[in-house]
Amino acid sequence: MANSTGKDGELTGFQEQAPYDESIDLRTDFVMVYGLNETTPQRIARWRDAGYRVHLMTGISWGTYQDYLDGSWDGSGHWDDAQTAGDGSPILHGESTDIPYMVPTFTFTEYLVQKLRPIIELGVEGIHLEEPEFWARAGYSESFKREWQAFFNEPWQPPHSTPEAHFRSGQLKQHLLSRSLDRVTSVLRDEALQQGRQVRFYVPTHSLLNYTQWQIISPESRLRTLPSIDGAIAQVWTGTSRTPNVYAGKVAERTFETAYLEYGIAQDLTRGTDRRMWFLHDPIEDHPDRTWEDYLANWQRTLIASLLHPGVARYEVAPWPHRIFNRPYLREGSTERELIPPDTATSYLIAMNSLRDLDQPEVRWAQEGPRIGIALSDTAMFQRWAPGGGSAHSDGGHYDGLQDALALEGREQLHFSDFYGLALPPLYDGQRVCPVQLENVIDTPDALDDVDVLVLSYEFQKPLAPGIHYALAGWVNRGGSLLYVGDGADPYHEIRSWWTGRYDTCADHLAEALGADRKHDGAQPVGQGRVRFIASRPADFTESPERAADLVAAIRELAGGTWESTNWLSVQRGPYLISAVLEETGGSHVVEGTYLDLLDPQLPVVNRRELAPGELTWLRDLTYDNEPLLASAGRIVDWHQDQSTIHFTCEAPRGVQVTTALRVPSEPTNLTGDVTATHYANGILWLHHPGVPAGTPIHLTF
């Protein structure tokens, strides 16, 4: 396990709005101080004094911007810049009554620049502009109508009126958000450079998969084209990933599988660039009425899902540690709320500290089967509200993670079955499935290098440019396999775009670019690769186990080579074995070896473990190397070791019970430090002590 004190790589961090407190001092590399108010300078200074690299985070689409809304900023009220639903009501953030989501007009963007300008002088190293969001059901404010006229050079159309109006509404929303981000980051970066400062800009954003499922528009792939953006945080957590979907005819929460797909697509925001990507984990989701047991189990599902993507090794270990360590929640079978159970706190911190060691050069998959990509385009966000459903006033199943999704009106659309019908069948067959950002194939030559079979449909999304098809044709000619699924029934095929008037659907242009026959039944050779067209709705493959098996058979035929159906996803990253048994595939899986269990707060040695369906594990292989520091709930700094002594300092939040596991030559003859308990067996020493942010010095003699 890495024991260096260097924080330059900013491998782990967290965001926090509360002032510094020793109980939430997680000892990560950096902290994102949240929010702009009169306390921001003091909060930044205090976290810096605690030894952190300091960033600032604020919302780009919502926040406490009352001085802008009420006119005290420039003398004019700006409630017409609030995102507005079809009934004329502003769309509000959470349960607030005075914090609307904003239309990012030029005026609001200039307000953001002025609001953020003083932050540069506070010496923060990064600024995070989080959650650029525009609701699909919005588009009725006066400011949006003006932006429509300016962008399309034609009068505004109610977004609910036709599929084309809704699609164009989505295009405009993405443009406005991207324009605002570009302006804010470019101006502030230039002003920082004039002051001799380097400030980096990041965008924390939900995954394209989640925004599409929740019916929200965001820049997503456009972030790759904005020159002043240095990276992103993939905001994937229990609240996004427990959104129900359908597999084999069954509606259910599938937190692990959904998170696995969410983290997969999020990588494409930075893949192939020198920009940074952090994966977010959230031990406590936004919903305040779950139990500690529910929070822990679902956090583990998202954690393991993220670790199964070895291309990313930076993590935001928590938003809001204050709500994790200082707020009471329910326990199973009880109506009383209580603060975090000690073992749960220890478990969280063991994972948070182990995450700094995931940048491992050796990556080994349990099975080297075909890699399956599911194409997902930004345009899927533009098609997710049901226009023409009778009224501009329909909420369309509005969902943001705080409602009971299984009882939601309009929940069938929320399921996003057109995507999950393509992704879940091969995933539940145990294959390495990863969504692929379709737009990237144009300007990223290696976008499909990790894909053997690409599954594509235009029944829930559309290609923005014909160049996408020429790029796909080149990839197939070089040996790739493409499965196209679609029956042409999507009404969005009729919108004005580059293919209309020349082709019945954009899939006809795809076939032309490939030199293939859309009506041919079966696989067709194209150069060194193959293509097959299936005339079905993608959602059909969610209807039954038999339909799921039909899709798997079609993908398997195109994949060729070695295909092993399994219930097991597993990768080893250096000494770390990360694994999950797929719940709906059935059967258990046995792991044998000599491991340390990183999900158990006691860090026990495991020689054999049988994992039931839905169970997962994160183990450290004790035979992989001779590293003395194996795992700890604290940050280990100032490590010194010679033939007869080990000395180090262990930093952790106050109030947490720290467990540390060390590989040692023998039982120590002397131990000094505030250690409350020790245990030695088979070359492993376990130490237990209370957490102290300033650090607990520990000295061992052998």
pLDDT at position 409 over 80: no
Contacts of 335 (CB under 8 A, 6+ apart): none
Burial class of residue 415 (count of CB atoms within 10 Å of its CB; 0-12, 13-18, 19+)? buried
Q: Is the pLDDT of residue 462 over 80?
A: yes
Please tell me the predicted confidence (pLDDT) of residue 64. Answer: 87
What number of residues does the chain have?
702
Per-residue pLDDT reduced to its tens digit, 617-657: 999 999 999 999 999 999 999 999 999 999 999 999 999 99
> Kind of pairing, strands 231-234 and 200-205?
parallel
For the record, the structure tokens of 506 come out as 């954009």
What is the pLDDT, as a whole number, of residue 1?
67
DSSP assignment of 326-374, as one string?
A: SS-EE-TT-S-EEPPPHHHHHHHHHHHHHGGG---S-EEES----EEEE
pLDDT of residue 562: 83
Which residue in this structure is represented by tokens 């999304």?
A: 461
Is pLDDT of 395 > 70? no
Q: What is the pLDDT of residue 389?
A: 47
pLDDT number for residue 385: 73
Range 247-263 average pLDDT? 97
pLDDT of amino acid 175: 98
Angle between helix 545-559 and helix 417-428 axes, rounded to 10 deg: 70
What value does the mean pLDDT take over residues 598-610? 98
Q: Which amino acid is at 688?
A: H
User: Which tens digits make up the pLDDT trace of 284-296?
Assistant: 999 999 999 999 9
Task: Please give the mean pLDDT across all residues of the chain.
Answer: 94
Q: Which pLDDT band holds residue 384 (cuts at 50, 70, 90)?
A: confident
Asked if residues 484 and 421 have their Cβ atoms less than 8 Å apart, the reply is no
Contacts of 193 (CB under 8 A, 6+ apart): none
Q: What percent of the chain has pLDDT over 90?
A: 91
Q: Let me know if 476 is exposed, middle or buried by CB neighbors in 10 A (0-12, 13-18, 19+).
A: buried
Q: Is 380 exposed, middle or buried (0-12, 13-18, 19+ CB in 10 A)?
A: buried
CA–CA dist 639, 637 (Å, integer): 6
The share of the chain scoring above pLDDT 70, in percent, equals: 96
Alpha-carbon distance of 189 to 353, in angstroms, equals 32
Q: What angle do CA 328, 129, 193 make, to 5 degrees?
A: 135
- In the chain, where the domains are located: 371-388+410-559, 568-619, 629-701
- Tokens representing 547 are 């339909």
pLDDT of residue 368: 85
What residues contact residue 479 under an 8 Å CB cut-off, 6+ apart?
A: 527, 528, 529
- pLDDT, position 423: 98
Tokens (6 digits) for 158: 């109610």
Q: Tell me the C-alpha distance between 206 and 189, whole Å.
A: 24
Return d(Cα 10, Cα 27) in angstroms, integer: 12
* 529 vs 367: CA distance, rounded Å: 23
pLDDT higher than threshold 80 for residue 95: no
Query: Which run of H or of E encompasses 110?
Result: helix 106-120
What is the tens place of the pLDDT at every residue in 580-596? 999 999 899 999 999 99
Backbone angles phi, psi at 130, to 5 degrees: -90, 150
DSSP symbols for 32-101: EEE--STTHHHHHHHHHHTT-EEEEEEESS-SS-HHHHSSTTTSS--GGGB-B-TTSPBPBSTT-SS-B-
d(CA 445, CA 475): 9
| Cα 275 from Cα 260, distance rounded (Å) | 21
Mean predicted confidence (pLDDT) in 52-63: 95
Predicted pLDDT at 412:
75
In this structure, the dihedral spanned by the alpha carbons of residues 152, 158, 161 and 162, taken in order and rounded to 10 degrees, is 20
pLDDT tens, residue by residue, 179-200: 999 999 999 999 999 999 999 9
Contact 55, 48 (CB under 8 A): no
Q: From CA 255, how far away is CA 240, in angstroms rounded? A: 8
Confidence label for 561 from pLDDT (cuts 50, 70 and 90): confident
| Interval 480-493: pLDDT, tens | 999 999 999 999 99
Q: In whole angstroms, give the CA distance from residue 1 to residue 262.
A: 28
Mapped onto helix, strand or coil, the DSSP state of residue 412 is helix
Q: Average pLDDT for residues 349-361, to the nearest whole number? A: 98
Each residue's pLDDT tens digit, 231-250 = 999 999 999 999 999 999 99
Average pLDDT of the residues in 68-75: 94
Instruction: State the Cα–Cα distance between residues 421 and 551, nearest whole angstrom.
Output: 9
Q: What kind of fold does domain 371-388+410-559 have according to CATH?
A: Rossmann fold (3.40.50)
